[in-house]
Amino acid sequence: MKKRILFVCLGNICRSPMAEAVMRHQVKLAQLSEQIEVDSAGTGDWHVGHPPHEGTRSQLDEHQISYEGMQARLVLSSDFDAFDYIVCMDTNNLRDVRSLLSEEQGGHQKLFTFMELLPDQGIADVPDPYYDGNFTFVYELVENGCKELLKRVQADMSLS
Ligand code: 4NP
């Protein structure tokens, strides 16, 4: 069965679109594009319809990863049913997504933070490069976290 992954951040122009593009790239390299779909969304609406931030685009360009056609959108409560993994880039995003959902949905294991994929890093949030400009560090985290997520999804696929 097809698996669907949604990354969520605040503006949907820096961190979650980077994760979307990197994850889709890794899925393609693993020849799983028919089985795994990837999307991203934001909890804030300031940048709806905008392409990824210049800092995110420059990291993706450097690694020759496509972001063609990507546009920011708002996260919707209906995303809960449409996706199998809802990965929030920080704990505020997780709280904001939970506020859109019922108590039962908000506690579901499909909803978790990106840094739960990288427990050895010892940080709870992917730092927001919109404020500190550190897109290089975010790229490193995103690349490593997406590798872990792909392993988890592949393991789940082998069970289902
Ligand atoms: P993101 O970063 O959540 O990683 O996309 C931000 C982008 C825009 C804003 C805040 C964070 N903003 O306030 O416009």
User: What mean pLDDT value characterizes the chain?
Assistant: 97
pLDDT in tens, 54-106: 999 999 999 999 999 999 999 999 999 999 999 999 999 999 999 999 999 99
End-to-end Cα distance, the chain: 7
Test site for ligand 1: of 7, 8, 14, most ligand atoms within 8 A of the Cβ: 14
> E strand or H helix at 157, and its extent?
helix 135-159
Determine whether the shortest distance from the Cβ of 22 to ligand 1 is under 6 A: no
Task: Write out the DSSP string of 72-91.
Answer: --B--TTHHHH-SEEEESSH
The pLDDT assigned to 58 comes to 98
The pLDDT assigned to 159 comes to 80
Determine whether the shortest distance from the Cβ of 9 to ligand 1 is under 6 A: yes
Ligand 1 atom, smallest distance to 126 CA:
4
pLDDT in tens, 129-151: 999 999 999 999 999 999 999 99
Q: Which two tokens stand for residue 2?
A: 């097809």
With beta carbons less than 8 A apart as the criterion, state whether 36 and 26 touch.
no
The pLDDT assigned to 1 comes to 84
All domains of the chain, ordered by start, with CATH?
Answer: 3-159 (3.40.50.2300)
CA of 11 to the centre of ligand 1 (A): 4
Ligand 1 atom, smallest distance to 13 CA:
5
> Which candidate, 112, 106, 107, places its Cα nearest to that of 125?
112
Residue 9 annotated as catalytic: yes
Test site for ligand 1: of 7, 9, 13, most ligand atoms within 8 A of the Cβ: 13
* pLDDT greater than 90 at residue 160: no
Dihedral sign computed on CA atoms, order 33, 156, 52, 140: negative
How many C-alpha atoms does 136 have within 13 Å on its Cβ side?
0
Which is catalytic among the residues 39, 79, 90, 128? 128
Q: C-alpha distances in angstroms, 131 versus 9, 14, 149?
A: 13, 10, 26
Does this model's pTM top 0.95?
Answer: yes
CA of 116 to the centre of ligand 1 (A): 21
pLDDT in tens, 6-35: 999 999 999 999 999 999 999 999 999 999
**Looking at this protein, which amino acid is placed at residue 12?**
N
How many C-alpha atoms does 47 have within 13 Å on its Cβ side?
19
